[in-house]
Structure 1
């Protein structure tokens, strides 16, 4: 429509909307009538052309169909244009020559009012029947193609916006620094585009808004009504330009982004200079944030991008360290707990999937292993709550639960619907706060307990090595446990542990350089090494009370563990008393020397070759020049020279680099000591070849 003249080609059909009141009259009441236009362009001032029936009949515009009232004061009519050949000759001749020629006539809109036809409006509507196509005419197939292309372009622009802006510059920098090779290449291509994110957003928003506006106009031309055009345009924009790009980019946004970089550069080029002003501040902030990112935070950010459930990181139930509710907290059980390295131990009844309690290692601080306290006594006293989670719980939600402080260990379960019975809860395993943190930072957290076993990679613990310095290794408390089937040792495990540490650190002959830790453990646990002396007050001079007698040959070493003894030394007969952890007869373990030695050794001597035993195998014996007899009941460690030599030989085999495959079995030293002691007991040492005269230091 131009200057109140509607132009339409010959043979075209279009809809015309009429506005007014009382539009529901008897049909037909609308028609068109043609008039001649003078060369000056002014409509001739003559009688109303609508009154002439010939002009209405011969008009190039004819109303087809019925009037459709879609609103209260408006409706649609369908108008069909006719070419010159379709006009009847009678109408043409009656109309007077060129009146019926559609190329030279304007047409007035006529309505039937009170039985007569009149033109409507003070300014008569003039319709120009032009045979040529209008300048903005688009055929139906072209309109359909244009609408489809426009919708697809809007969807692509939205996909570019979502994919390229899915990660902020900080997260993109993390991928560039810590990601895989493919991620690094993609981040390198996206980083220049993402730094100018403001320009990109402005350009894409402008293009999308322009496309949405054009789409609405085209749909209005196709549908001819505002309401259908608006709703159709909104639905297509939501479905193709919003919903589909979000679905695609939510899973593959980072993978698709590198392919859109060229399109993004083209789109934001017009707004590059305009957007660079506001981008400068954000770029400076991003650069400052990037400079302050340490290495661990990069790993944390990279791991935080992963979305996993607790089922992906849990420790399977069969690999968990658990104890039955019927267990007794004796030395064996507590040693097993300490050896596991865990601070929380689940307690189950009958089967591992039935977890009923949880034991904290700190709960055992006041428990004496000698009391053999039942496990249920401790667990029911503290009554720690159990924390159950489902297998599909996200790690971020699991971390929030741990942050509340209720527990650092959770039991993972799922609903088992398999089979014909009712659904039930099935326990899958355990998950801890450490597991969640390790998954977030994508790195293993090593602590003092990781030397036992890594449950995730099934890494067995390393074999026990023999260090030069005992304090540098984790103590193997299981070596203090009593072997199954052997008679019970009179020395308590705690006292045995203290004895081992004292000998290995204070007595040079039992240092790790000479006797390995394992061999010393088995030596101290041997029944013949642990002895007791019962003191009889009524017979103080009983020979059983004397541990050493002056000038009487001996071949054993004694360490006093409990009780008191009296030592008489020298020709003057000086006497003094000693108590626990004093030792005598160190020289009896090695070759006799002319060096004077105190009966109570408190100083370390320069180390000798631990495997130099040429003189040690001689029949010579050690003759002390002091006397040691008991004053109370005694508990002591008595090691003979042959037992000590056997320990040296066993340590030498274990430390030999020529045969690393030789392993010292728990009972091998015991068997060796028993055999050699049998030979020693049958041998009689009746003469003293060397006596040591010492004085009190």
Structure 2
């Protein structure tokens, strides 16, 4: 039976104050459960490093509190349950039993759940940072009960909730942040396109972006640089021309067209007598990021895409130009005598050391390190365990990154 109190007595107001405190405390715990637990560690780290000044301060205060998420969750739920269980006890001393149930349900539902969770869902970061010291105290108070339960949850569910997006999800998120999506995003169309292209670059291989060998222009190493050949090179408008021996699938190097400026067509100099540079060889299934890294080495901005044939030899194509051919062991497979380059050549003629951001690049003046030294007696068919199937250039990789065609001065295209 409920005990009746004088509505003007001190004890009555004490009970009313306790009820108000319990409702507010339960509402705070309920709101923090939603507000703090909805903030992942990744979100908080992003805000702490690149958010606004106010967000960085709030995130720095909250991060130590939410680092152990299961312990925090158990603490908030224990405090919330204790407040809600204690509320009917104090109400029962003021009103009848059915009145206590009705009032407690109404107070908890309205002031302990709906309003706090609505507010904390929108301002959870600021509220969480403000009451972070209080939450720390509650964690220590509830530690004997909350810690064993949290360790059990860590064992059963894992001690961390990964909130990182997968590649496809991240692409969708970037598109939603574009100003074309109409959701208030700040990214332009070009920015979202480039980011999406960068995310797709790992999934694309050399075969997806190469130019098939049948569509490329290449010259035989045994031809002479007469007027006909020089005219063909000029009409193509390329800055680099692949060189093959005997058949087009046997690409042995590349010549720079600018090196032909000093050659007179009437001299009909053999192609093998001009400067022929080494060209990287990459497998058809090599990701474009790996190919981009090969191009960054500075050996060449063009590479040969090769396909391995299912034969007995265990060849490895790493695309690196620092390759030694053992004449004694493989006399049939060699095309040319290749000397191992002593330096990695980078095209920075105006300075010995150039830096961009955190990268430091060194430039060597040994521009002959990547030049083939051809001996007539050593020109034999390339090994049969691999064959060239296409050409891939730096421009092809950049087009995949930009997801748009790059037209230079010699490209011919029709406006749709």
Shorter-chain TM-score: what band?
0.3 to 0.5
The alignment's TM-score, normalised by the length of structure 1, stands at 0.28
After TM superposition, the score normalised by the length of structure 2 is: 0.43
More strand by share: 1
Ranked by relative contact order (alpha carbons within 8 Å, sequence separation 6 or more), the top structure is 2
Structure with bigger gyration radius: 1
Write 1 or 2 for the structure with the bigger share of helix. Answer: 2
